[in-house]
Structure 1
Amino acid sequence: MDVFLFIPCLVEHVLPQVGEATALVLRRAGVRPVLPEGQTCCGQFAYKRGRPDLVRPLARRFIELFEAAPAVVCPSASCTAMVRRYPTLFAAGDPWRDRADRVAAKTFELGEFLVDSLDCPDLGARFPIRAVLHASCQASRVLGVGDRTVRLLEAVEGLDLVPLAHPERCCGFGGAFSIDYPEVSQAILDQKIDDVLQSGAAAVITAEPSCLLNIGSALAKRGASVRPLHLAEVLAGGES
């Protein structure tokens, strides 16, 4: 089975190891990842800025690239959620709306695809480390797929998941939120980092690249040795 791999901007330009790990994990799950050339941004930032006029051309481009896919897999809940909003960008009766509906229906976040579509919660991964899980707002509250991440991690040999004092806490990024309200964003992030450090974990795992970047940068600024890891990197067993 072929699946088309949608690589978010942050992964392509800042976290390429996450894209490589995602492809490896999909191959281990028995599917062949196909990377369409000419991918662009999903338009999420412009959408959150109230500029659907800027998002529509990006949505059309995405639809043209991915509508032939049996399934589309993305290692980001927020970008997956944006694709699922594409139908709302077009009026009823617009042919693009029907095309957007079809693409949105077959676009999945990585963990969601592995557990729900492939019924493959155990990939035989081994990653011995004591870690905490940061559940992203988009995965938990928008897509409602945060429990898939938990199922996948529970099956990883050697992984010792310890609880956070406040597991529901946002990391404070929120895309444009961190730009518009930097002081509030930083305060939220500080609370998250305090939780991570107080847990005694050696790593923090998340399935959202933007959270990974935000938390990882904050840990580095504090001089902490805690490793920021994406779900795909853990499932790949550190082999990406």
Structure 2
Amino acid sequence: MRVALFSTCIGDALFPDAHKAAAIVLSRLGCEVVYPMGQTCCGQMHINTGYQKEAVPIIRSYADAFADSSIDYVVAPSGSCVGAVREQHVRIAQRYGDSALVDGAEKAVHKTYDLSEFIVDIMGTHDVGAFFPHRVTYHSSCHSLRFIEVGQRPYDLLRAVKGLELVDLPNSEECCGFGGTFSLKNADTSAAMVADKIRHIKETGAEYVTAGDSSCLMNIGGAMSRQHSGIRAIHIAEILASTVEHPWTPEKAAYTREAML
């Protein structure tokens, strides 16, 4: 099975370790992982802020990179970007593009999966051979929860990790306050939302908070770091990539204020 990794722009620029971890997990499951060099961004930020026509070249780049028939599936460790691809690409291509773009967008969209979806639905497993002996809580990002509806898949994957103690996060369905440009345009509201999220994370007594989106983890991890909470943010792909032989260590944590400066 030939699987193309869509690393997303925020992953490529700021958190490559999470996307490397996704490639490790996919390879461990027997996939041939490829990385099309022409990939760029999903275009979500442009479309969400009203620049729909300007997003057409981005959608074309995505289709050019991933519509190839030699690629069986496209996997991204980002529910937000997968949600944008599925919800926006074909619609924008139909509105502003041409027939070739619509065809390419449809082909690419139909085989695009979030990492947790792909492991559970396509590979048919919950146990990827991971080992992570820590107390962990899971944050459901808005897009993964409401757009692509990953449901229990991340929880089932985490429960199958040896040594991991999964604890429920109070009000887990609430947004962390990032929301792309929302956190810039409505900074005070965003800060209040992430403060609530961190309060609930602390209530769990978890050592780590995980999620399927680097953007949420950047927001949550940065805020926790500023509070010196001692709780670390980690992408679910990094937990799934961690094994007894090659454990993930705190020194690799990227979602901190210091790491992003």
Under a length normalisation based on structure 2, what TM-score does the superposition of the two structures give? 0.89
Which residue in the other structure is 1:91 paired with? Answer: 94
Deviations 1:67-115 (A, max 9, x none): 1121100000111112112110123872321221111000000000010
Partner secondary structure for residue 152 of structure 2: helix
Runs of 4+ in structure 1 deviating by more than 3 angstroms, as ranges, are none
Which residue in the other structure is 1:80 paired with? Answer: 82
Gapped regions of structure 2 (runs ≥ 5): 249-261
Deviations 1:24-76 (A, max 9, x none): 00011110210111321111100110111111101011101111121100000
Find the aligned partners of 1:166 and 1:213 in 2 and give their Cα distance.
Answer: 19
Which residue in the other structure is 1:103 paired with? Answer: 108
What amino acid maps onto 1:57 in structure 2?
A: P
CA contact (8 A) 2:38 2:64 kept: no
Find the aligned partners of 2:100 and 2:13 in 1 and give their Cα distance.
Answer: 33
Which residue in the other structure is 1:36 paired with? Answer: 36
Deviations 1:192-214 (A, max 9, x none): 00111121111101111101111
Which residue in the other structure is 1:201 paired with? Answer: 206
Q: 1:123: Cα distance to partner?
A: 0.8
Partner secondary structure for residue 126 of structure 2: coil
Find the aligned partners of 1:185 and 1:8 in 2 and give their Cα distance.
Answer: 23
Q: Pairwise mapping of residues 1-240 of structure 1 onto structure 2 (< 5 A)?
A: 1-68=1-68, 69-84=71-86, 85-91=88-94, 94-237=99-242, 239=246
Find the aligned partners of 1:198 and 1:91 in 2 and give their Cα distance.
Answer: 47
Q: 1:14: Cα distance to partner?
A: 0.9
Under a length normalisation based on structure 1, what TM-score does the superposition of the two structures give? 0.96
Find the aligned partners of 1:186 and 1:99 in 2 and give their Cα distance.
Answer: 39
What amino acid maps onto 1:83 in structure 2?
A: V
Find the aligned partners of 2:13 and 2:107 in 1 and give their Cα distance.
Answer: 28
What amino acid maps onto 1:18 in structure 2?
A: A
Find the aligned partners of 1:13 and 1:90 in 2 and give their Cα distance.
Answer: 26
Find the aligned partners of 2:170 and 2:49 in 1 and give their Cα distance.
Answer: 33
Find the aligned partners of 2:79 and 2:204 in 1 and give their Cα distance.
Answer: 25
What amino acid maps onto 2:100 in structure 1?
A: P
Find the aligned partners of 1:43 and 1:166 in 2 and give their Cα distance.
Answer: 29
What amino acid maps onto 1:91 in structure 2?
A: Q
Q: 1:165: Cα distance to partner?
A: 2.1
RMSD of the alignment, in Å? 1.3
CA contact (8 A) 2:78 2:114 kept: yes
Find the aligned partners of 1:91 and 1:209 in 2 and give their Cα distance.
Answer: 30
Find the aligned partners of 1:29 and 1:170 in 2 and give their Cα distance.
Answer: 32
Paired residues, number: 240
Find the aligned partners of 1:82 and 1:153 in 2 and give their Cα distance.
Answer: 25
What amino acid maps onto 1:54 in structure 2?
A: E
